[in-house]
Amino acid sequence: MGSLGLATLFAMIFKHFIAMFVLETAIPLSIVANCISRMRREINFFLMIALTSVTFMMDVNFDSYFWYRSATRGFEFSIVAILAVGVLACSLLFPGAGRRRWFWPASLGLMLLCLAYGCDEATLVCPGPFKDEERTGNRSD
C-alpha cells in the first residue's frame, strides 16, 4: 500500500472518529432539545422529512463494503437518524396532553409480514453470475 493509500486509510479512520464524537453528543442534545419544546419537536419532524432528499451528503457509513454497482453494506448514520432518535425518544418520554405513551400501530400485522418477506429475500438472495467477482474481485471468465 503506497503513501496515498495509507493517507486515505487514516483519513477514513479520522472521519469515523469525528462522526462517532458527533453522534455521541448530537443524539442526547437532540433528545433534550425536543423534550424542552413541543414546537422544536414539530420543527425537527418537519426537518426529518425535508432533509431526506439531501441525506446522502450528510451521512457516514461505518463498517461498509462496496459491492457490485456501488451497493454498500454497513451502518449508515445521517442527520435524519439523529433527528428521528430525538423525536422518538421525546415522544416516548413526554407524550402530549391526552395522548398515550405507547400504542400498537393499526397495520402491525402487515409490517411484520413485510419484515418476514424482507428477511426471507435477504437470506435467499444469490448474486448469480457475479458471485465470485463480488467476493474476491477476480473474474471467473
Regarding whether 61 and 23 lie in a shared domain, the answer is yes
Cell digits of residue 12: 477514513
Regarding whether 14 and 69 lie in a shared domain, the answer is yes
Regarding whether 83 and 26 lie in a shared domain, the answer is yes
pLDDT in the model for residue 113: 95
pTM: 0.61
pLDDT in the model for residue 8: 57
Regarding whether 60 and 125 lie in a shared domain, the answer is no
**CA pair distance 39, 113, nearest whole angstrom:** 35
pLDDT in the model for residue 47: 92
Q: Structural domain of residue 115, as residue ranges?
A: 105-141
Instruction: Tell me the CA distances in angstroms from 129 to 19, 121, 136, 137, 140, one per residue in order.
Output: 37, 18, 13, 13, 9
Regarding whether 123 and 57 lie in a shared domain, the answer is no
pLDDT in the model for residue 100: 73
Q: Are 43 and 83 in contact (CB under 8 A)?
A: no
**CA pair distance 28, 35, nearest whole angstrom:** 11
Q: What is the mean pLDDT of each run of 10 residues along the chain (141 residues)?
A: 57 76 90 89 91 82 62 74 90 79 79 90 65 52 51
